[in-house]
């Protein structure tokens, strides 16, 4: 299982996907071949002798899983890069505090639409010179910018998770303005699809909040 996890993280990194934040610095150190004696966090950091014994048992008992995880990374071909370019390690395994989302982080990743996207299932004729379509794109895009700019860290994580299926932004996150009733997402293609019909920010905000709060049970459209 841990071998598969290593493969997944390696492939994600190689294809510009999300990194893996929050992994213990001690585990990262051991994973990349560092000896237990020089781990950033050691048993001696704990003053309670009983807890020291428990921590030592955990470290020793996870050795097999760490080896599997390491093998998974090696199978992706990523291992030589991690060994010879230590500066890559914090990018692949950032600290949880370094992975906190900010509005600007998301805005910098967004690929904004320039026209209405026509989805085959809901196709209808649109005039190429339809000025109202361009107006709708600009208006709805503006609503999303406002939402991102004013959202709390929790809301930002929910939005990104709904959008791409992961709580960290991808390198490119696409937005489409479409004919639809509610916001949806195509997580495999990192696309957020927003209906063009919104005329007020209040309704847009209400619907988007309702949709992103459902990502615990699914990520928009398959």
pLDDT value for 123: 46
User: Angle 2-14/63-75 helices, nearest 10 degrees?
Assistant: 40
pLDDT value for 88: 83
Q: Which CATH superfamily is domain 100-212 in?
A: Hect, E3 ligase catalytic domain (3.30.2410.10)
Which tokens hold the place of 172? 């490119």
Contact 103, 149 (CB under 8 A): yes
pLDDT value for 202: 96
Which tokens hold the place of 191? 């696309």
Contact 18, 85 (CB under 8 A): no
pLDDT value for 53: 66
Residue of 2, 15, 10, 4 whose CA lies nearest to 164? 15
- Sorted by where each begins, the domain ranges of the chain are 2-96, 100-212
pLDDT value for 79: 85
Pairing of strands 173-178, 191-195: parallel
Q: Quick count: other Cβ atoms within 10 Å of Cβ 149?
A: 11
pLDDT value for 106: 93
pLDDT value for 120: 46
What CA–CA distances, in Å, run from 188 to 3, 17, 192? 23, 11, 11
Contact 159, 205 (CB under 8 A): no
Give 145's Cβ-side CA count (13 Å radius): 10
Beta bridge partners of 176: 193
pLDDT value for 160: 92
Low-confidence ranges of the chain (pLDDT < 50): 120-128, 217-222
């Amino acid at each position: 299982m841990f071998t598969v996890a290593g493969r997944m993280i390696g492939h994600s990194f190689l294809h510009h996907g999300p990194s893996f934040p929050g992994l213990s610095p001690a585990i990262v150190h051991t994973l990349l071949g560092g000896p237990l004696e020089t781990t950033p966090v050691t048993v001696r950091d704990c003053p309670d002798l009983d807890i020291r014994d428990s921590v030592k048992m955990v470290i020793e008992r996870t050795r097999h899983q760490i080896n599997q995880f390491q093998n998974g990374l090696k199978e992706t071909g990523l291992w030589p890069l991690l060994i010879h370019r230590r500066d890559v390690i914090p990018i692949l395994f950032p600290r949880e505090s370094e992975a906190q989302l900010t509005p600007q982080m998301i805005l910098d990743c967004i690929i904004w639409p320039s026209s209405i996207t026509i989805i085959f299932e809901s196709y209808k004729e649109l005039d190429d010179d339809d000025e109202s379509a361009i107006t709708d794109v600009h208006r709805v895009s503006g609503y999303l910018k406002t939402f991102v700019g004013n959202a709390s860290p929790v809301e930002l994580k929910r939005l990104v998770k709904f959008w791409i299926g992961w709580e960290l932004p991808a390198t490119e996150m696409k937005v489409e303005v479409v004919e639809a009733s509610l916001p949806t997402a195509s997580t495999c293609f990192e696309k957020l699809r927003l209906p063009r019909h919104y005329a007020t920010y209040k309704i847009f905000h209400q619907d988007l909040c309702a949709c992103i709060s459902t990502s615990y049970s699914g990520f928009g459209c398959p």
